[in-house]
Structures are given as C-alpha cells and as structure tokens.
Amino acid sequence: MATCIWLRSCGARRLGSTFPGCRLRPRAGGLVPASGPAPGPAQLRCYAGGLAGLSAALLRTDSFVGGRWLPAAATFPVQDPASGAALGMVADCGVREARAAVRAAYEAFCRWREVSAKERSSLLRKWYNLMIQNKDDLARIITAESGKPLKEAHGEILYSAFFLEWFSEEARRVYGDIIYTPAKDRRALVLKQPVGVAAVITPWNFPSAMITRKVGAALAAGCTVVVKPAEDTPFSALALAELASQAGIPSGVYNVIPCSRKNAKEVGEAICTDPLVSKISFTGSTTTGKILLHHAANSVKRVSMELGGLAPFIVFDSANVDQAVAGAMASKFRNTGQTCVCSNQFLVQRGIHDAFVKAFAEAMKKNLRVGNGFEEGTTQGPLINEKAVEKVEKQVNDAVSKGATVVTGGKRHQLGKNFFEPTLLCNVTQDMLCTHEETFGPLAPVIKFDTEEEAIAIANAADVGLAGYFYSQDPAQIWRVAEQLEVGMVGVNEGLISSVECPFGGVKQSGLGREGSKYGIDEYLELKYVCYGGL
C-alpha cells in the first residue's frame, strides 16, 4: 500500500504497484508473489513490477503537448511481452489530440527557429547529460516494455544518448555558401533553414534510439517535432519527454502523442496530412511507409523513410570461419533477431559451408540463453507479441515442408507464448518464405552457393536493400562485392555496423534519406538561394 501511495503522490498514474525484482508466478485471476521452491524451467519469472522501482518522474502515462502533461479521454494497456502482465495504462490519443500537438509544435517552431545554434546545441547537450545520469532507469523501461535483454537495453540507451550528443555538436556546423556569379555586381548566397514541424513515427524495437536519431537532428536544425511512438513501447518516448523538459527544451518543441493500435492509423494520417507539418520521418515496415508516402504526396512534404530489409550475410570460401560465425551471431541474434539490419538469409559458399554450419550451431548452443530480459545472462528475450512468434513459426514450417533441415531449435520455447527457440536451418532454397520475407525473429536460414556471381544475384533479387554483410579475405573480391551489393550499408568482415557518426539508410524499397552522421541534419534543412544585386 505504501508503494501505491508513493507512486500516486509522485504523479506516476495508472502504473502497476508490484515491487521491483519481485519474482511472481501466474495463477487464475492474476499474478502473486512466488512461494516455495523456485519455478521449473517451463515456468516464467515475471518482472512486470520492474517499473515500480524507477524514478516516478520518468514513468509518465499522459501525452506531452506544448510542455504540459495532458490526459486523453481513453487509455490503453501496455504489456510486458515476457509475461503478458500489464505495465500500465497510457493516454490513448486520437485525431483531436494529434492536431493539437501539431499546432503546439508549429507555434513553438516560430520561436525555436530563431534560437541561436549555440543555444540549441547547449540544450541538446543538457538532454544528453540527463540521459546518461538516468541511463539505468531508462534501460529498465526498455526491457519492461519491449522484452529486450537488460544488457542490450543499456547499450541502446548509450546509443540513443550519443545521437543527442552528436547533433548537439552538428547544430553549430550548419554552413551555407557564397557563389561568385559571372555578373560583377551580384553575389549569390545559399542559406540552410529548418523545414518546419516534423512528424516522427517510430517503431517498438528501438523505442529510445529511433526517437533521438530523428529528434536530435530535427531540433539541431531548428525544427520542432510531434512524436507518435509505437503502441507497444510508449513509456520510453514519454520518459524522454520528461528529461527534455528537465533539460529546458522549450514548450512545444518536443511533443509526444501515444495511441493504441486501434487509433494508430487515424492518428498517423492526421499528423502526416496536416498542412502545418512540413516533414515526415518514419521507421517501420515498407507497407506502412508506402501509405505514409501517399499522405505526404498530397501536400508534397519532405520525407525520410527507414523501411524493411532482407539483409544477406555472405560467407565466401576465403573467409575466416571463426570471424564469420562471430559476425553472424552479432548480426542475427541482437534483440532476438528483431532489428531492421538483422541478417535474414545466410549465403555460404560450398567449400566452407559445412564448417560454417557446424561452428554456427555450436556457437548458438553455447552462447544463446532464452529468458526474461531482466534475468542475468539472458541473451534472447521474448518476441514483441504472439503474432511475431507465429510469423517465425510459419517460416520454419514452410521451410521444413519444402526440404529444409532443422540443425537446432525450430519451435516455440517452453517459457511462454512469446518465446521462440533460436533456430538454424540448412538445405534452404530460394522458394522458401524465409528467403524473401523479412523474419524479425531468431531464425537463421542457410543457402549453399557455388560462385560469387550466384551469391550477388541472390542477394540483389530482393526489392529492398537496407544492409548487407559478407566475409572474405580476398581484397579484390571485397571491392567487387561491396560495390555490387544493392544495399545502403555494407559490413565487410563485420556484423555490427550502426554508429552515430555514420549514415544509416537503404536503397530500393528500404527507404529514402539518411539518419545519423553529418548527413542526418540535412534531412531537416531547406536550401534557399539569395541573389544579392546592385553591388
């Protein structure tokens, strides 16, 4: 009871009141503290109460618009994907709230654009510092709402904070040009100016980093934002809003409107078609991205799209097997395979195929541990929901029915409905679903190939092109393959490629524009040519 009163008094409304770290066990009608012997391997430990031990100031459940925390007429539940337990009830914003957020952002933009680059830089740096100070609590929020292992959640928070740090520095490096024309009495100037209000729509798999990668660039450029976070993971976006407020980010510059899956379509349409919005930045599926592009087309808005991928991971005969396996583990099983740059199909040359598959299977069995993200040693948490599990299961069953062999894994994990065993398939062919449909789960299908040309053809057959990886010790081959792969990012003898300093984005139907790096801020700037005559 004392905990419940303390949470309410600190403003953390509609949150569960279980104690942090308390092991719970399911029973009819709810969850109760576990008693007696420890649960067996098939009984899931529930850490849904992990939110209750955090700073109450970070546990926000209302929308954040115009610098104020505002409730909505309705709420929706956010669940722990590991146990299914409710984490809390969050404001379910609709079209009215979305339009109000856009108006607040537009009014703030008229002031924020006039703030000096130095001051914008300083405020972003303060926001970064607050993220670092609160990194442990922010990481626990990510694990609670997404299921991501806590160690990876800590990594995401640092990655997320580094975008604010990076763009705090880039804010002061927005340079124009002076062009000398043929006319002696004229000078031509090129100015860079903020585009205006940006609608930012983010996914659940990186609920913090996907926000700061966009918002950091937008605010540095002088834009304001309306963020619609994924319905599965709104707490991270709202915690960032609290820290932005503490950092002194002016009212209306950063706005957050959470909503349920039921309202997501109409809210997304409302902010993307609003005439006061000048820019749309979206990370998510290619299908949804195409819908948003239609919305943007009606009023010719600027867009950034980071969409789906089908990343090939190619292992040539000259590759170092141990290095290739280490890269495959890092690329495939980060966040339980739920990243847009995860390797989706493994193309392994005939001469090295058997050695690679054997070593890969051994590494999976030795290093991967399925469990609740809060449990020490867990490397593979739950998938985000049962629909995601069904997709992996469907791909495995389809492949096996067409002749693939399960080397390890292959079925749902005994821990619960959202868990799936890390799975390795061999004897995979190109007519199987797993080779042309993004998995977003812990499934590694291996295709055997003979020639470099064959591997390139298979990799480039996809209509998407976000990331690609390959392992080779042949310098000439490395140049050839790196240039020929039709993707926006290539990892050569490396399975982890993301860095705040480097441009992130794809080609073909994997999106438009780049995020991060010195190029990321350009997505939020317009060029203006000024002809100065009469000199």
Is 134's pLDDT higher than 80? yes
Cα separation, 51 vs 16, in Å, equals 8
Q: Is 141 helix (H, G, I), strand (E, B) or coil?
A: helix
Q: Where in the chain is the domain with CATH 3.40.605.10?
A: 61-306
CATH number listed for the domain at residues 61-306: 3.40.605.10
Tell me which of 13 and 206 has the higher pLDDT.
Answer: 206
Task: Report the b/e string of 200-216 with b at 16+ CB within 10 A.
Answer: bbbbbbbbbbbbbbbbb
Longest C-alpha distance within the chain, in Å? 90
Dihedral Cα 206, 211, 216, 222, nearest 10 deg:
160
Q: Which two tokens stand for residue 266?
A: 């109409």
Sole residue written with tokens 């209750």: 52
pLDDT at residue number 92: 98
* pLDDT tens-place string over residues 220-234: 999 999 999 999 999
Facing residues of 278 across strands? none
Q: How far apart are CA 451 and CA 347, in angstroms?
A: 11
Inform me whether the pLDDT recorded for 29 exceeds 50.
no
pLDDT at 33: 31
Rg for the chain, CA atoms, rounded: 24
CA distance 110 to 102: 13
- Give 8 or 342, the one with higher predicted confidence: 342
pLDDT band at 50 (very low <50, low <70, confident <90, very high): low
Tens-digit pLDDT profile for residues 360-373: 999 999 999 999 99
Please provide the average confidence, as pLDDT, over all residues in the chain.
Answer: 91
Identity at 235, one-letter amino acid code = F
pLDDT of residue 36: 33
Q: Which residues are catalytic?
A: 306
Q: pLDDT class for 158, splitting at 50, 70, 90? A: very high
Strand order in the sheet with 423-426: 405-408, 423-426, 443-449, 343-349, 311-315, 467-471, 489-492
For residue 40, pLDDT beyond 70: no
- Whether 35 has a pLDDT exceeding 60, the answer reads no
Amino acid 57: pLDDT:
84
Average pLDDT (63-67) is: 98
Residue 111 dihedral angles phi and psi, to the nearest 5°: -95, -40
Question: Model-level pTM?
Answer: 0.90
Q: Where does 85-223 show beta strands of DSSP type E?
A: 86-91, 177-179, 187-194, 197-201
Quickly tell me which residue has 């020929």 as its tokens.
484
End-to-end CA distance of the chain: 77
Q: Tell me the β-bridge partners of 426.
A: 405
pLDDT of residue 37: 33
Model confidence at 219: pLDDT above 60 = yes
Contact 473, 319 (CB under 8 A): yes
Residue 322 has pLDDT above 50, yes or no: yes
Among 38-47, 93-102, 515-524, the least confident range: 38-47
Where do the CATH 3.40.309.10 domains begin and end in the chain? 309-496
pLDDT band for 52, please (50, 70, 90 cuts).
low
Among 9-18, 85-94, 177-186, name the one with the lowest average pLDDT: 9-18
- CB burial of 125-144 (b: ≥16 within 10 Å; e: otherwise) equals bbbbbbbeebbebbbbbbbb
What pLDDT does residue 56 have?
A: 82
Backbone torsions φ then ψ of 242, nearest 5 degrees = -60, -45
* pLDDT tens readout for residues 439-480: 999 999 999 999 999 999 999 999 999 999 999 999 999 999
Using DSSP's 3-state secondary structure scheme, residue 369 falls into coil
- Report the pLDDT averaged over residues 27-37: 31
CA–CA gap between residue 414 and residue 42 (Å, rounded): 5
Average pLDDT over residues 257-286: 97
Residue 13, pLDDT > 80, answer no
Check pLDDT > 90 for residue 53. no
Measuring CA to CA, how many Å separate 187 from each of 137, 174, 181, 255, 503?
Answer: 54, 20, 6, 40, 33
**Is the domain covering 309-496 a CATH 3.40.5.10 domain?**
no
Cβ-based burial of 359 (10 A; exposed 0-12, middle 13-18, buried ≥19): middle
How confident is the model at residue 482, as a pLDDT?
98
